Structure 1
Amino acid sequence: MSRLPIVDPKTMEKVLLKLGFQRVRQKGSHVFYRHSNGKYTTIPFHARALPKSLIRKIIRSIFMFIL
């Protein structure tokens, strides 16, 4: 298994938008994204990088619709 890169929220947002997700709403510092097939994910927008465990969770949730 390859190592996960350090990703900040802005970079993760760019990836989600390129994959077809749309920004639906925001509650506090958390932004909600939804795909046209119904899948959704949430990204916390803080000033620091996302934890690797959260990156792994987001990747699993967004790529479930591809498999």
Structure 2
Amino acid sequence: MPKVPAVTGSEVIHALEKVGFQVVRQKGIYVRMQHEDGRVVTIPVHAGKNVGRGLLRKILRDAKMTREEFIDLL
């Protein structure tokens, strides 16, 4: 299984938009995204900083995606 790559919050948002997630709201640095079927994820967007690997794994778990599916979207 490949490692989760280092990506920024903006890259995560663009990848999730490709599979049907939409930005619902933003409060400060946190962007809340929701899928049509009800899945919800929250992504921190720090300018120029990567999302931590553990947090990215949690986001993928909430989005019900595998690492391979996410890497293919990048």
Q: What TM-score, normalized to structure 2?
A: 0.81
Kindly, what percent of the aligned residue pairs are identical?
42
Q: Which has the higher helix share?
A: 2
Aligned to 2:62: 61
State the 4+ residue runs in structure 1 displaced beyond 3 angstroms. Answer: none
Counterpart CA distance in 2 for 1:38 and 1:3 is 27
- The structural deviation recorded for 1:34 is 0.3
What do you get for the CA RMSD once the two structures are aligned? 1.1
Higher RCO (CA 8 Å, separation ≥ 6 residues)? 2
Counterpart CA distance in 2 for 1:16 and 1:35 is 9
Show structure 1 runs of 5+ residues with no match: none
Q: What TM-score, normalized to structure 1?
A: 0.88
Q: Does 1:49 align with 2:47?
A: no
